[in-house]
Structure 1
Amino acid sequence: MQNPSPFPGMNACARQLQARVVEQQQLAEGTFRIRLATAELARVIRPGQFFMIRPAAGTDPLLGRPFALYDTYLDEEGEPAGIDFVYHVIGKMTGLMSDWAGGEVVTLWGPLGNGFPVPQAGHLLCVGGGIGYTPFLAVAREAAGLRQYGEGDRSVAEPARKVTLCYGVRTRSQRADLTDFEAIPACDLRVATDDGTEGHHGLVTDLLREALESPERPDAVYCCGPEPMMHAVADVCAEAGVNCWLSLETPMACGFGACFSCVTKVKVETEEGWDYRRTCIEGPVFPAETLIRG
């Protein structure tokens, strides 16, 4: 799956391809899961990486949109056959996607980005807000030793004894279908709603603080979701002295580092003390302590 002339810093295995929609399922109010038959991409993509997608025909919209891997699915022989991704309807592209049915041909570009590091933790805690929970199914399955992703050896040294997902959402009606997480034996699911209609009445960071103060304190935290939530998670983890990685949801246009529309400030050892990094190339996952706000 070699791309003959990748852009500087882009994954050498990234390429453009076409795939057919296998099925689409509604998970929550305005939220859907799409399954695509694309063995090429499924064999190399890693948890936390993403791809750009657009209709195979037409020019409206002209540019693709980025979506994180939810999970890969396997064929009868146990080999990767395709990918699943989850999206929320918020604009023209996702509005079109909600009408896609089995057999629809779409264009993909990926895998893109760096993804999460291989989880080497006895207790891994993931924090997801809104649609930001979607990268963590593959993360949880990998951490628990149930699946392997990508090329090369990404096997965990020892499966995690526990994977906690702290999931925050405004209200119960917007809560995602988390059945896939509940099916992982090592996964502990905790829900917070802003209005108290399900689970903890309050912020998802309240659940994070409880976990960090418990006897089963997590060894590492992965986070994805709204920017204010991620800032808060980074602060809580810094106070507790726990390593934290953030997956940024920065808007992007090209997805391969050419347009520089998705840059974020990071700390570097220069006279200025900071520089820009492209979320689509050097990210979307960054150690929380390396990021500069604003």
Structure 2
Amino acid sequence: MIQPATQHDLCGLMPHASQYRAVVLEQRELADHTYAIRIGSPELARLIQPGQFFMIRPERGTDPLLGRPFALYDTILNDQGEPIAFEFAYHVIGKLTGLMSHWEPGTAVEIWGPLGNGFPLFRGQHLLCVGGGIGYTPFLAVAREALRLRQYGQSAKRYDALSSSVPSVSLCYGVQSKKFRADLSDFEPLTDLSISIATDDGSEGRPGFVTALVEEKLAATTNRPDAVYCCGPEPMMHAVARLCRAANVDCWLSLESPMACGFGACFSCVTKVRDAESPEGWDYRRTCVEGPIFRADQLVIE
């Protein structure tokens, strides 16, 4: 079994999070300049839940000095069904992701997590997931859990409160063009998951923004979504939130605020949240601690 060399608690700031030394097991391309990395860390793989994230940085060197946040893509199980590793996806856009694209098997990294709150375990009949760009990646684990195909973290306890009926899950996935559309073969075994694609340039699927697909789903007279989980560019998430509010459908957004520490010490990732007790009617909350998943009606969306 893969074991990290070291593990350190994060000073009680995040009670279930620890810092680990781990190694890269493999890396594969998902789309143009988009990759999935597999990290050997049984401890983190056992704890992390869909929608939660972790921070990662190279084990050696100081450039970049700070880690970067990435959300869970999926966990990897051994022959006994035990989590032994996890995967995350990233798009090459900066210094660290540029370095990451050259990480090879055996590369040592520092990770700390799991961090944040994760998506709630779905309890309805039809869950609609909406992903824009790299924002589609949390929904493989979300769909597996909603369809009762995989248990993550503490979900074994959470499952006890669910009915025996299995819901349906839909994914609306929007990208700029077919060139950037990710390989979705990991989703194919999920037979109760339906996928609709929109491209800005019309090169695949529905021409235009993914929000048009969302609007159709919310207006359906049969199998209308009970809830919407959304991750992607901020303007897209705000548009989805407004559509859900108009349709009176619960919506949760996964915010991607820039983070420095990941466990609430630096206050660099705050977002505006409604607060009736504040004179302004809102207050700041740390995305890394109180989020990154927020109910859309909690947020001040401008």
Q: Say yes or no: does 1:246 pair with 2:253.
A: yes
* CA shift digits 1:150-202 (9 cap, x unpaired): 13513243454310000000100000111112220110000000111000011
In the alignment, what sits opposite 1:282?
290
Question: d(CA) in 2 for partners of 1:65 and 1:2?
Answer: 18
Contact 1:124/1:160 (<8 A) preserved: no
In the alignment, what sits opposite 1:128?
131
Q: Say yes or no: does 1:29 pair with 2:32.
A: yes
How far apart are residue 217 of structure 1 and its match? 0.5
Question: d(CA) in 2 for partners of 1:271 and 1:79?
Answer: 46
- Out of 219, 244, 247, which is 1:213 matched to? 219
Runs of at least 5 residues in structure 2 that lack an aligned partner in the other structure: 1-6
How far apart are residue 120 of structure 1 and its match? 1.0
Contact 1:166/1:204 (<8 A) preserved: yes
- Out of 166, 172, 181, which is 1:175 matched to? 181
- Out of 167, 182, 186, which is 1:161 matched to? 167
Q: Say yes or no: does 1:196 pair with 2:202.
A: yes
In the alignment, what sits opposite 2:44?
41
Question: d(CA) in 2 for partners of 1:192 and 1:159?
Answer: 30
Q: 1:79 to 1:88 in 2, by over 3 A?
A: same
Q: What secondary structure, in the 3-state scheme, does the structure 1 residue paired with 2:51 have? A: coil
Q: What secondary structure, in the 3-state scheme, does the structure 2 residue paired with 1:154 have? A: helix
Question: d(CA) in 1 for partners of 2:165 and 2:288?
Answer: 29
Runs (4+) of structure 1 exceeding 6 A deviation are: none
Deviates more, 1:175-184 or 1:80-89: 175-184
In the alignment, what sits opposite 1:104?
107
- Counterpart AA for 2:135: G
TM-score, normalisation: structure 2: 0.94
Contact 2:115/2:263 (<8 A) preserved: yes
Question: d(CA) in 1 for partners of 2:297 and 2:65?
Answer: 36
Q: Say yes or no: does 1:262 pair with 2:266.
A: no
Runs of at least 5 residues in structure 1 that lack an aligned partner in the other structure: none
Q: 1:240 to 1:86 in 2, by over 3 A?
A: same
Q: What secondary structure, in the 3-state scheme, does the structure 2 residue paired with 1:63 have? A: coil
Question: d(CA) in 1 for partners of 2:186 and 2:84?
Answer: 18
